[in-house]
């Protein structure tokens, strides 16, 4: 009950007036419903009294008018309830999505390496879309209204006798127990199938995404994906069918038991009428009341079962957004750090569910104005190290300090670095936004945005010198579709817009030609002379002028020094550089 109260309080805090009005409409809809049986009694009693006489048409027409007023009132209430429910759901979804977005902003990037976290997010997304918070409120109020109606109708049933009422009520107990347990089982089943549903959605996205379409077309993999999709869907379908059939037979047995009780009460009512112990209108009333009680008890069973299910499901959502308050345990570091000194001591890191460390005992210092290159073979931990320095990953051992403060104690909103990742992202927004996301405070600073575009050597004329031009055609058919090299330059301009602290370039030239790549590296190092910079690249010709070159191997610093020092050492770096240099000489 405490949980339900908590969820309803969340709803009321979002739209108090709408929620109160919706509650009144729900209760009214249940209160009005039993009136139909009373109108039936009134009509039959009137006709029976006038039987064999001239009908009093005024009385009949009055009853017909009451039917009309009743049906109109019920229609208006139900339409108003649906309208208010839809409007409240829209407002509630927007409010919850804002809370979820705020919470996601507080989540450490490490969690995105954990598959269980994706299942958790999928469950939360489904709970938002299903409208479960509002469902809890609607089901609670509907349960209250149904119970009121049952009490009212039971009082009417008592006039027929205590035995029919008890018979009808007792026959509902098995169904009540079944529905109450089914709700929890249904939630547990759906939750257990989230990984399977994620796989089917992923395969569907591969078939429908423009990013994977060209390879699917060239490699003719569509049939393979369709088979995988069909296999996963059939697996889910068979388990769902088995689950539903098992519960369906139980439901049929419970419904049969209750139907026998209902039929017994109806037969008893007409028997009493046939023996003139009650009027025909009373018999019709009791039949209607019996059926209504049956329906309301079924509704109560459904509402309780649904509440049981939705309360469990919304637990995921509310536990996710509940802990959003800032505990103020962070150390006071300026919001944007112009000067940085970063120190890593014995840093070790392993990905979730992995035993081996991807980084194993890294010691590194990064001084203001220092230019550092991190090189090594694929999988040696270069990008992982960059994410540790950026605070995206948190080491399982060792410390990372920013200006003497442990990075775990620095407020998340503190900005001390910018980055261009190798897996850059292009947003289906305007040119202005795509660049300004690098430093959102400069969203309307045209000079800074143009300067960042110039530094990345992106040709601004491809946008017709219009910052409001959309990238991609997802939301604007006149949008610009960029080539791979242009998209990478756009990502670089985003990184260049933040002109303080540390800049990290993680394979920023993978989609660029050699000449443009060399020009960007040279201009970047020249323009960043007053800033700390880290360059991660496989092309060693670009790092010759760096102050320090770090060669990683198996997550450890294998070699460290200037280009000249490492060449004299004739170790790993020397061998890799020589291989690349010889390839260029051979081509020349």
Answer whether 162's CB lies under 8 Å from 260's CB. Answer: no
Q: Kindly report the average pLDDT of the chain as a whole number.
A: 81
Answer whether 561's CB lies under 8 Å from 549's CB. Answer: yes
Instruction: Output the 3-class SS for 155-168.
Output: HHHHCCCHHHHHHH
What are the distances in angstroms from CA 109 to CA 396, 434, 501? 14, 21, 21
Tokens found for residue 324 = 């959003």
User: How much is the pLDDT for 177?
Assistant: 67
User: How much is the pLDDT for 1?
Assistant: 64
349 — phi, psi (to 5°)?
-150, 140
Cα 342 to the center of its chain, rounded Å:
35
Alpha carbon distance 542, 521 (integer Å): 6
Nearest to 109 by CA among 351, 426, 333, 330: 351
pLDDT higher for 381 or 338?
381
In this structure, are 309 and 348 located in the same domain?
no
The dihedral through the CA atoms of 66, 71, 74, 76 has a sign that is negative
Count the alpha carbons within 13 Å of 387 in the hemisphere toward its beta carbon: 22
Alpha carbon distance 553, 538 (integer Å): 13
Instruction: Output the 3-class SS for 350-371.
Output: CCCCCCCCCEEEEEEEECCCCE
In this structure, are 427 and 474 located in the same domain?
yes
In this structure, are 362 and 259 located in the same domain?
no
Of the pLDDT bands very low, low, confident and very high (cuts 50, 70, 90), residue 55 is low
In this structure, are 300 and 218 located in the same domain?
yes
User: How much is the pLDDT for 327?
Assistant: 43
Per-residue pLDDT, averaged over 71-100, amounts to: 86
Res. 40: pLDDT tops 60: yes
Residues forming beta bridges with residue 374, ordered by sequence position: 536, 550
Res. 162: pLDDT tops 90: no
Of the pLDDT bands very low, low, confident and very high (cuts 50, 70, 90), residue 39 is confident
Res. 329: pLDDT tops 50: no
Res. 586: pLDDT tops 60: no
Per-residue pLDDT, averaged over 493-516, amounts to: 80
Residue 330 lies inside a defined structural domain of this protein: no
Our count of domains for the chain comes to 2
Which of 271, 295, 323 is a domain's end point?
323
Which of 277, 296, 323 is a domain's end point?
323
DSSP secondary structure string for all residues of 495-533: HHT--SSEEEEESTTTTS-HHHHHHHHHHHHHHTTTSEE
Answer whether 55's CB lies under 8 Å from 171's CB. Answer: no
Buried b / exposed e along 57-82 (16+ C-beta atoms within 10 A): eeeeeebeeeeeebeeebeebeebbe
Residue 185 lies inside a defined structural domain of this protein: yes
Tens-digit pLDDT profile for residues 112-133: 777 777 777 777 777 777 777 7
Kind and range of the H or E run holding 322: helix 280-322
In this structure, are 315 and 347 located in the same domain?
no
Alpha carbon distance 290, 292 (integer Å): 5
Count the alpha carbons within 13 Å of 51 in the hemisphere toward its beta carbon: 8
401 — phi, psi (to 5°)?
-120, 140
Percent of the chain with pLDDT over 90: 16
Tokens found for residue 271 = 């028997």
User: How much is the pLDDT for 149?
Assistant: 84
User: Tokens 């009808």 appear where?
Assistant: 168
In this structure, are 437 and 372 located in the same domain?
yes
User: How much is the pLDDT for 475?
Assistant: 66
In this structure, are 144 and 58 located in the same domain?
yes
User: How much is the pLDDT for 326?
Assistant: 44
The residue segments making up the domain with residue 134 are 1-323
Residue 159 lies inside a defined structural domain of this protein: yes
Per-residue pLDDT, averaged over 256-271, amounts to: 76
Tokens found for residue 297 = 């008890």
User: How much is the pLDDT for 236?
Assistant: 86
Of the pLDDT bands very low, low, confident and very high (cuts 50, 70, 90), residue 35 is confident
Res. 179: pLDDT tops 70: no
Percent of the chain with pLDDT over 70: 86
Tens-digit pLDDT profile for residues 524-561: 676 677 889 999 988 888 888 899 999 999 999 999 99
The helix/strand count (H/E) of the chain reads as: 19, 10
User: How much is the pLDDT for 587?
Assistant: 54
Of the pLDDT bands very low, low, confident and very high (cuts 50, 70, 90), residue 566 is very high
Alpha carbon distance 379, 424 (integer Å): 18
Residue 334 lies inside a defined structural domain of this protein: no
Radius of gyration in angstroms for the set of CA atoms belonging to the chain, rounded to a whole number: 35
Answer whether 481's CB lies under 8 Å from 472's CB. Answer: yes
Tens-digit pLDDT profile for residues 461-491: 788 778 888 887 666 777 888 888 888 888 8
How many other C-beta atoms lie within 10 A of the C-beta of residue 325?
6
The whole model's pTM is what?
A: 0.66
Residue 331 lies inside a defined structural domain of this protein: no
In this structure, are 78 and 150 located in the same domain?
yes
In this structure, are 430 and 539 located in the same domain?
yes
SS3 468: coil
Alpha carbon distance 240, 335 (integer Å): 52
Tens-digit pLDDT profile for residues 65-77: 988 998 898 889 8
In this structure, are 303 and 375 located in the same domain?
no
What CATH number is associated with residue 72? 1.20.1560.10
User: How much is the pLDDT for 382?
Assistant: 92
375 — phi, psi (to 5°)?
-130, 170
Nearest to 176 by CA among 141, 152, 150, 154: 150
Residue 178 lies inside a defined structural domain of this protein: yes
Residue 337 lies inside a defined structural domain of this protein: no
Nearest to 194 by CA among 327, 55, 316: 316
User: How much is the pLDDT for 328?
Assistant: 45
Alpha carbon distance 490, 434 (integer Å): 7
Which of 289, 323, 357 is a domain's end point?
323
SS3 180: helix
In this structure, are 318 and 385 located in the same domain?
no
Alpha carbon distance 287, 285 (integer Å): 5
Tens-digit pLDDT profile for residues 368-406: 889 999 999 888 999 999 999 998 899 999 999 999 999
Alpha carbon distance 413, 432 (integer Å): 22
Of the pLDDT bands very low, low, confident and very high (cuts 50, 70, 90), residue 359 is very high
In this structure, are 114 and 197 located in the same domain?
yes
What CATH number is associated with residue 362? 3.40.50.300
Residue 447 lies inside a defined structural domain of this protein: yes
Q: Highest-confidence range of 34-38, 70-74, 163-167, by mean pLDDT?
A: 70-74
């Amino acid at each position: 009950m405490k949980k339900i109260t908590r969820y309803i309080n969340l709803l009321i805090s979002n739209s108090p007036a709408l929620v109160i009005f919706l509650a009144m409409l729900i209760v009214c809809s249940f209160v009005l419903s039993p009136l139909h049986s009373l109108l039936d009694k009134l009509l039959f009693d009137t006709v029976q009294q006038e039987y064999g006489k001239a009908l009093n048409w005024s009385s009949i027409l009055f009853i017909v008018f009451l039917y009309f007023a009743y049906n109109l009132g019920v229609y208006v209430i139900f339409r108003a309830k649906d309208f208010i429910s839809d409007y409240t759901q829209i407002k509630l979804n927007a409010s919850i999505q804002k809370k979820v977005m705020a919470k996601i902003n507080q989540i450490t990037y490490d969690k995105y390496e954990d598959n269980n976290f994706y299942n958790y997010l999928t469950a939360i997304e489904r709970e938002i879309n299903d409208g479960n918070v509002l469902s809890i409120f609607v089901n609670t109020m509907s349960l209250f209204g149904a119970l009121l109606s049952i009490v009212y109708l039971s009082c009417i049933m008592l006039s027929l006798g205590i035995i029919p009422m008890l018979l009808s009520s007792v026959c509902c107990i098995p169904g009540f127990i079944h529905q109450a347990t089914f709700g929890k089982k249904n939630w547990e089943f759906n939750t257990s199938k989230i990984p399977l549903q994620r796989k089917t959605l992923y395969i569907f996205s591969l078939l429908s995404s423009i990013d994977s379409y060209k390879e699917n077309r060239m490699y003719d993999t569509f049939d393979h994906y369709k088979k995988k999709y069909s296999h996963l869907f059939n697996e889910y379908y068979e388990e769902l069918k088995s689950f539903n059939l098992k519960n369906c037979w139980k439901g049929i047995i419970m419904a049969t038991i209750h139907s026998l009780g209902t039929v017994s009460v109806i037969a008893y009512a007409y028997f009493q009428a046939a023996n003139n112990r009650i009027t025909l209108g009373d018999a019709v009333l009791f039949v209607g009341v019996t059926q209504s009680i049956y329906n309301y008890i079924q509704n109560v069973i459904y509402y309780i079962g649904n509440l049981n299910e939705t309360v469990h499901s919304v637990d995921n959502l509310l536990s996710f957004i509940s802990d959003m308050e800032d505990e103020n345990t962070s150390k006071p570091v300026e919001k944007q750090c112009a000067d940085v000194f970063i120190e890593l001591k014995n840093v070790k890191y392993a990905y979730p569910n992995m035993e081996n460390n991807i980084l194993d005992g890294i010691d590194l210092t990064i001084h203001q104005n220092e230019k550092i290159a991190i090189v090594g073979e694929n999988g040696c931990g270069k990008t992982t190290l960059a994410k540790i320095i950026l605070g995206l990953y948190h080491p399982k051992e060792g410390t990372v300090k920013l200006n003497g403060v442990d990075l775990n104690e620095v407020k998340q909103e503190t900005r001390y670095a910018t980055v261009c990742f190798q897996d850059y992202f292009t947003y289906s927004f305007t040119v202005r936004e795509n660049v300004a996301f690098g430093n959102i405070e400069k969203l309307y600073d045209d000079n800074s945005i143009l300067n960042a575009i110039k530094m990345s050597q992106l040709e601004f004329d491809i946008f017709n010198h219009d910052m409001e031009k959309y990238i991609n055609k997802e939301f604007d058919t006149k949008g610009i579709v960029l080539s791979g090299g242009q998209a990478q330059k756009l990502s670089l301009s985003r990184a260049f817009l933040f002109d303080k602290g540390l800049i990290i370039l993680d394979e920023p030239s993978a989609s660029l030609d050699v000449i443009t790549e060399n020009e960007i590296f040279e201009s970047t190092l020249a323009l960043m002379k007053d800033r700390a910079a880290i360059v991660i690249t496989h092309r060693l010709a670009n790092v010759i002028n760096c102050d320090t070159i770090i060669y990683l191997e198996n997550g450890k610093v294998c070699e460290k020094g200037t280009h000249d020092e490492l060449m004299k050492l004739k170790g790993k770096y020397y061998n890799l550089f020589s291989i690349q240099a010889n390839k260029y000489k051979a081509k020349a």
